[in-house]
Structure 1
Amino acid sequence: MSKNLKITVLTPEFYSYGALLIAGILQEQGYPVKLQKGFGEVIDADIVFISLQSTIHLLKYQKEISSMDTFKIVGGPVTLSPQLILDCLAVDLVVVGEGENTLYDILKVFENNPIPNVSDFKDVSGVAFKKDEQTIITGKGTAHSLERPLPLVPSDISSENIRGANVYLETHRGCPGNCGFCGVPCLFGREVRSRSLEDILNEVKYLLSKGVRKIAISGGTGSLYGSNKFKNVDEEAFIELLREISNLTGPKNLTIPDIRVDLISDQILEAIHQYSNGWVFFGIESGSDRVLRHMKKGVTVDQVREAVAMAREHGVKTAGSFIVAYPGEEEEEFQDTMDLADELMLDDYFVSIAEPIPGTDLGDEVSQLSLEDNILFQDSLKYKRHGLSIAEERALDLMVESYIFRSFPVPMSQNLLKNLLDEVKSQGDHIKSVTHLIKKYPTS
């Protein structure tokens, strides 16, 4: 491949860590590469790597992606269903699974032929393409060692706000969990692979030198860092990780956003209190043990209660995510979730309607569920004048009540209510579109 060919790495709405990583690899290999956020600027490149984070992007950016007159390669979490991407988007190639090793093989094809046909990639493991209206999938990308060049960091990175952070820092990959709604084990596998502490700290120093101020630890459940077995947390490795990163960023600028309620300890919570901004984000999801079992969450409501109580004992603030309208959720079970949310009195709440990610158990279940039996498509009588469905009704009710439940209640104003109603409608429209999409292109 000619080193003079221009390459753009495009991320639609925010600078994803994966996009920064791929751009860094390309730069390290000596290719002129540009990192671009959004479609506002004209794409002037021979090759565009497009990092897509959400299934809805397949519909939202169809026009923009189709209009690009260049060789287009898609990667990111959406690649769990490569056929879906190729059917929705006018792109040449999809990177399936982890992209680093596959990227090197793709570059070799371009080295042999700067203007390749998609069939030239037939011997590259971990890609998908269309040939004669047939989707060809050469397999899934091989697991990467996680040793890699430094990411390419854009000059405006300090303006990013991804759940309070400028950037998410990958510390490990994989999760032994089996949550039916989560794409992490589907994408990265169930074995936990951790980066070396030295490698992570070198990257933190580099990010800070490029203008990053606030860093969040990524990789799924944060406390799995250093471990290779589920429910066998390496406390010392995780605590050392927090301490050493915090020494560089300062505690207020370090966030540990996601931890399972069954993968904590007094030592871990004390380290979070001491070395970070003092928040944990628990995936609580439901107040019904039956629904949690159906989600394959692997935890119980009592474990949720215990984890929140432990966090409070160490002065750690707690936020919780809740998923409503999971297939089969009964009204009484939703009320159990409302009751639990009220009982816990968390410091912050995040409520979402169950979103079926293609390639997950939830995605498969929703693709086989008739629209008539899906409460996302059943009209709400309570909010009929707002045109909400039963699923949207449940989300709105929990959102509204969460402002009363929390440790410091927030008065419900007309403006706040309108914002919540808009959020629920946006979620509902998004997930309805995804549902239609995966029913048209099922993965199982």
Structure 2
Amino acid sequence: MKVSLFYPPVKSRSEIKEQINPPIGILYIASNLLEKGHKVTFHDGIIEDLDVEKFKQILLKERPDYVGIGFVSILRNAGFEFARVAKEILPNVKVVIGGVHTSIFPIKVLEKYDFIDYIIYNEGEVTFAELIKKGPRGTKGVCYRKGKKVVMNPPRDPIKDLDALPKVRWDLCNMKKYIKNTKESGADYLVYPNFGIITSRGCPGRCTFCASQKLSINVRRHSPKYVYNLVKELRDKYGIKDIYFLDDTFALDINWLKEYRDLLQKKPLDVVYSGQLRANTSDEVLKLLKQIGFYLVNVGVESGSQKVLNSMRKGIVVNQIHQCIETAKKVGLMVKVYLIFGDVSETKEDIQKTVALVNSLPIDEFVWGRLMFLPGSGVAYNKGIPDDWWFKNNYIPFTENFDPALINYAWFLMSVNSFFRQTKFKSKLNHKPWILAAIERLLIIGGLGIFINKIHFKTKFRYDLLAYLFLPIGIILTATGINKKLLEFFLGIKYGQKQSIYFDKDKDIFRDNLSATA
């Protein structure tokens, strides 16, 4: 059979400012289908900047028997549009949809869109191959129509041995474009070229802003030997020298890390690493990561308030955040933290605690985002967003518990406080002269702080002009330390004060030293 697999595009590739990585889930499916003897092509709509017309041309040229489209929630409209077009120009083609979004409500997707033939929910490698061979009836992990009735087959068990899957066929995608994108995106990397990989599946976490609880909670991962050979292949074939682990749970298994370190000590690969961490990562794991060759860890802090962390069901306490970041710096790792503002429980006091936390720690860089109600997440469920909403609206809703002026001012104060560390970080990982990185940081601080966000601009010229006008503000605040007084005056907290958490046995709650209750 001829199978054409697609990952849908964003509206315009120019809107993508982050590094673009291949959708490895679809590549796994493609590689397995190739091993089964099928003729398979793969097209990443983002890196290839596909639109509907280009999509049509590909289909008319390839004329596949099956069109497979996988996507996440934010790309759902583009994915459904591709599916509609595929059935329109090739009426006999079987349109198969998969990915996180459709795995959450497969029945509703088929009820809504008659141009889709099959939904593959959860992992698709074995299911897609079996669907082609046997058809939908009795194939686990498939949702299909039987007359006018939608039938959802029982789920397929998660794949236990990931090493048993065929090796990913990187030659199916244009690796040169992904590698080139690393430089274009301004991604943080120490050595060029950089490339992101995923080596595990599943997450035991129960964070309310994530949909993982609706999907697989059982963590499975490739063996250290498999990952070693994968990194070696990427280095030898494509010159990759910097690997970013995209796994949610990369540092979860200390024995796995020890075995991988031992492999590298026997036969070094001359590759450096970065990756994501939970904020309660142990000292021993952090030391292991440094031994493996990590230079940067991205820590999911989310908030400096214990109350908000509990509301998010993060399963960590603020003291662990202090311990993790301080130890990471001691062993020689750079630290970038991720924050989320807008939790339903968050108040001004909680934002104050987040600012205090960031300003009291030796963080090299921080980024923040606004809480999104992703389908399948706990916050979406608790908010009462109906499943039908995702088929009637073309955007992801944000929490309304969000004060842009307050958040931007908090960002402004954190940015000024960490100016020199952020400048050093950007200079080193964006490969720019320090003075250029410093000027860029000052422009951002001076032009995008609370002041500029109070004004709406109709032209880029006005925006740039005001950025330069406020540049002296950033310079003065940074040089004189006035930001410390601003922090105390506007947010009502003592600059650099550490937050300590303790358990009140009498009240059966956590408390902290910044407020009556955490």
- Select 2:202's aligned residue among 170, 174, 178: 174
Tell me if structure 2 keeps the 8 A contact 1:126–1:140.
yes
- Are the equivalent residues in 2 in contact too, given 1:27–1:152 (CA < 8 A)? no
Cα gap change, 1:74 to 1:291, in 2 (>3 Å)? same
| RMSD, matched Cα | 3.1
Matches within 5 A, 1:32-431: 32-38=39-45, 39-40=50-51, 41=54, 42-44=57-59, 45-52=64-71, 54-69=72-87, 70-78=93-101, 79-83=103-107, 85-86=109-110, 90-109=115-134, 121-130=136-145, 135-144=150-159, 145-146=161-162, 147-153=164-170, 154-156=173-175, 157-161=178-182, 167-189=195-217, 191-211=218-238, 213=240, 214-225=242-253, 235-242=254-261, 244=263, 249-252=269-272, 254-255=273-274, 257-265=275-283, 267-368=284-385, 376=398, 390-393=402-405, 395-406=407-418, 407-408=421-422, 410-413=441-444, 417=448
Amino acid at match of 1:47: Y
Query: Which residue does the alignment assign to 2:2?
Result: 6
Range with bigger deviation, 76-85 or 137-146: 76-85
* Whole-angstrom distance in 2 between the partners of 1:106 and 1:33: 15
Q: What count of residue pairs does the alignment treat as equivalent? A: 378
2:24 is the alignment partner of 1:17: yes
Q: Secondary structure at the match of 2:4?
A: strand
Is the deviation greater in 140-149 or in 63-72?
A: 63-72
Supply the AA of the counterpart residue of 1:343: S
CA contact (8 A) 1:74 1:91 kept: yes
Provide the C-alpha distance between the structure 2 equivalents of 1:130 and 1:332, rounded to a whole number of angstroms.
52
Of 39-48 and 312-321, deviating more is 39-48
Is the 8 Å Cα contact of residues 181 and 362 (structure 1) preserved in structure 2? yes
Distance 1:187 1:338 in 2: 33
Pick closer, same or farther for the CA change 1:57–1:155 going to 2, 3 Å. closer
Verify the 8 A CA contact 1:288 1:337 in the aligned structure 2: yes
The 1-side partners of 2:345 and 2:100 are apart by: 26
Change (3 A) 1:413 1:283: closer
* SS of the residue 2:442 aligns to: coil
Unaligned runs of 5+ residues in structure 2 are 10-20, 88-92, 390-396, 424-440, 454-518
Note the C-alpha offset of 1:318. Answer: 0.7
Give the alignment partner of residue 38 of structure 2, picking from 31, 47, 54. Answer: 31
Distance 1:155 1:212, change over 3 A: farther
Judge conservation of contact 1:179–1:296 (CA < 8 Å) in 2: yes
Greater shift after overlay, 341-350 or 209-218?
209-218
Equivalent residues of 2:197, 2:246 under 8 A apart:
yes
TM-score (norm 1): 0.75
The answer to whether the 8 A contact 2:341-2:402 is kept is no
Contact 1:155-1:211 at 8 Å conserved across structures: no
Measured after TM superposition, the shift of residue 398 of structure 1 is: 4.4
Kept in 2: contact 1:284–1:320 (CA 8 A): yes
Secondary structure of 1:356's counterpart equals coil
Contact 1:251–1:274 under 8 Å retained in 2 = no
Give deviations 1:208-234, integer Å, cap 9, x for gaps: 344261422243121124xxxxxxxxx
* 1:312-352 Cα distance to aligned partner (Å, 9 max, x none): 11111111111111123222212222222222242111211
The one-letter code matched in structure 1 to 2:81 is K
Query: How much has 1:245 moved relative to structure 2?
Result: 5.9
SS of residue in 2 equivalent to 1:175: coil
Structure 2 residue matching 1:322: 3-state secondary structure? strand
Displacement of 1:298: 0.4
Contact 1:51–1:75, Cα closer than 8 Å, also in 2: yes
Rate the CA distance shift 1:325–1:9 in 2: closer, same or farther, 3 A.
Answer: same
Q: Distance in 1 between matches of 2:33 and 2:209?
A: 33
Q: Distance in 2 between matches of 1:59 and 1:392?
A: 28
Shift of residue 158, structure 1, vs aligned partner: 2.7
Instruction: Give the 3 Å change call, closer, same or farther, for CA 251–331 of structure 1 in structure 2.
Output: same
Say whether the 8 Å CA contact 2:276–2:297 is kept in structure 1.
Answer: yes
> CA 1:65/1:49 → structure 2, altered by over 3 Å: closer, same or farther?
same
Distance change (3 Å), C-alpha of 1:311 and 1:412: same
Q: Pick which of 286-295 and 85-94 moved more.
A: 85-94
The whole-number CA distance in structure 2 between the counterparts of 1:390 and 1:73 is 38
C-alpha contact (below 8 Å) 2:372/2:399 kept by paired residues? no
CA distance in 2, matches of 1:60, 1:188: 25
Identity of aligned residues (%): 22
CA distance in 2, matches of 1:316, 1:360: 32
**Measured at CA, do residues 222 and 313 of structure 1 come closer, stay the same or move farther in structure 2, by a change above 3 Å?**
same
- What is the CA–CA distance in structure 1 between the aligned matches of 2:368 and 2:305, rounded to whole Å? 15
Contact kept, 8 Å, 1:81 with 1:358, in 2: the verdict is no
